[in-house]
Amino acid sequence: MKRFFSTIAVVASSALALAACSGGGGGGTTESGVDLVKDGKLTLCSDIPYEPFEYVNDQNETVGFDIDLSKKLAERLGVELDVKTTPFEGIQSGSSLDTGQCDIALSGMAITDERKSKMDFSMMYLKDNLALMAAKDSGYKSIDDVKDKKVGAQAATTGEKYAKEKGISPTQFETGGLLTQAMQTRKIDAAIANVSTIYAATQADDSLTLVQDFETGEVVGAAVKKGNSKLLDEFNGMLEGMFEDGSYDKLVDEWFGPVADAARVDQEEAKASK
């Protein structure tokens, strides 16, 4: 889903990450033997806002599908959840994990071979193909209609990569929220993003619509630092329990509404992806 590898962005984010991790308190270990960067806290790196995965609501609360999963993991570990807003470039490069900024990253992040070489992923917990969004009155029917238009995409994402592969030079936006704002104010003619993000945008603004979806086979997972098998096992164990007790399906329905069936994975699919 969100995001692909960008060498320049990674170098820049790595430098910022190294600077950021120079301070902070000591780590700790849970009763189950999971080492944490902060004692008594599960520190989550997440690129906020990226609705409906992670964003700040009208009550100034950090909420979303990824946030709820992280809360369940923290509860399983018997610790508090500490959410750290982190640029996606640092997350998808693995530098945020490598430099001890956080224990785990959930950020609507697609599992790719490139990323798997830099961090360890959980079993997949969601499907999220790409799609094209535009104004309802645009008259656009497919991606062919926007090749000579101003098309936006979030920087360092699979949406940006896909646009370029289709011969489009996209206008880049730092966050998904800025991309949606540009579409709402018509600073761009169309946008390429994940189905989940476009669904959230169309729910918030009735003048926008999903024009075309693309079968890209993207699946989403949680990431930990290479070799952190104990934390990964805890996340996978939590997710298997959610499949079995039905709470996974309820959470997908809550956050993805009409696109929930396209987004959800079943337990066997998830286990096979480990």
Residue 28: Cβ within 10 Å count: 14
CATH no., domain 35-127+219-265: 3.40.190.10
d(CA 132, CA 152): 10
Judged by DSSP in three states, 103 sits in: coil
pLDDT band at 14 (very low <50, low <70, confident <90, very high): very low
Token pair for residue 222? 């949680």
Q: What is the pLDDT of residues 80-107, one digit of tens each?
A: 999 999 999 899 999 999 999 999 999 9
Q: What is the pLDDT of residues 141-193, one digit of tens each?
A: 999 999 999 999 998 888 999 999 999 999 999 888 899 999 999 999 999 99
d(CA 266, CA 158): 24
Domain ranges of the chain: 35-127+219-265, 130-214
CATH fold group of domain 130-214: D-Maltodextrin-Binding Protein; domain 2 (3.40.190)
Share of the chain above pLDDT 70, in %: 91
Q: What is the pLDDT of residues 226-244, one digit of tens each?
A: 999 999 999 999 999 999 9
Query: Which among 185, 183, 155, 186 has a CA at the least distance from the CA of 170?
Result: 155
Same fold yes or no, 35-127+219-265 and 130-214: yes
- DSSP secondary structure of 214-229: E----EE--EEETT-H
Judged by DSSP in three states, 3 sits in: coil
Q: Is 139 exposed, middle or buried (0-12, 13-18, 19+ CB in 10 A)?
A: exposed
Question: What pLDDT is stored for residue 5 in this prediction?
Answer: 38
Contacts of 150 (CB under 8 A, 6+ apart): 171, 187, 188, 189, 190
C-alpha angle with apex 4: 45 to 41, nearest 5 degrees?
10
